[in-house]
Amino acid sequence: MENPIHEYWTIRLQRTQKALEANNFDVYIADNKDMAKKLAYETIIPTMAPKTISWGGSMTFVGTRLYEALRNDPRYTVLDTYDKSLSPEASMQRRRESLLVDLFITGTNAVTENGQLVNLDMIGNRVAALTFGPRHVLLFIGRNKLVPDREAAMARIKGYAAPVNVMRLEKKKSLRQDRPLRKLQQPRPHLQYLDDHRKKLSQAAHQDRFD
């Protein structure tokens, strides 16, 4: 086999794609960040035809440079929740307003191979938008987020994603590299298993139709 690593990831990603599609997600696989940007900017977003756009925290989204493209595109009204010039009060208000946009873009802390998104959110705006509010939600998910199951997802979140984000956002001044991660006080988790949530909504809608 010429490229076993590529083949390995292709198999895992395609398997996860099928699982997510079975849970009512539309899924696209891009080979790199430039392809991801092109696919989103030229194909996916125009199909949604949004007038207003906002986003939650996602390093994968920022890494594609789609953030800059959308922010400077006059076709869209952008509620930029990354704006550093905002006061804490104004920033929180903008996060609230972002829940009512036509398109909300974000990432996920982990995605399981059986098609579940698992998230721990410091404020709650990302998981709120994922479950209700915006007309459309677009997620950018790097293959580094792929895990076998929920247990592995929580291990990744608590052992890696949460401590790294604490350092990136400078939320704890006392955090030092020489302190064991197990001693860090983790934020209270706001978990959303979206497949379960969607099934409950589907069951409720089905019941309403026949009541």
Take residue 99 and report the two structure tokens written for it.
């829940």
Answer yes or no: is pLDDT of 181 > 70.
Answer: no
Report the domain count for the chain.
1
Take residue 67 and report the two structure tokens written for it.
């953030």
- Find, among 136, 55, 67, the residue nearest to 97 by Cα: 55
Under 8 Å between Cβ of 113 and 146:
yes
Identify the band that residue 123 occupies on the pLDDT scale cut at 50, 70 and 90.
confident
pLDDT in the model for residue 22: 97
Identify the band that residue 171 occupies on the pLDDT scale cut at 50, 70 and 90.
low
Nearby residues of 59 by Cβ (< 8 Å), 6 or more positions away: 107
Identify the band that residue 185 occupies on the pLDDT scale cut at 50, 70 and 90.
very low
Answer yes or no: is pLDDT of 54 > 80.
Answer: yes
Answer yes or no: is pLDDT of 180 > 60.
Answer: no
- The domain in which residue 99 lies consists of 4-210
To the question of pTM greater than 0.75 for the whole model, the response is: yes
Under 8 Å between Cβ of 95 and 81:
yes
pLDDT in the model for residue 172: 58
End-to-end CA gap in the chain: 57
pLDDT in the model for residue 1: 77
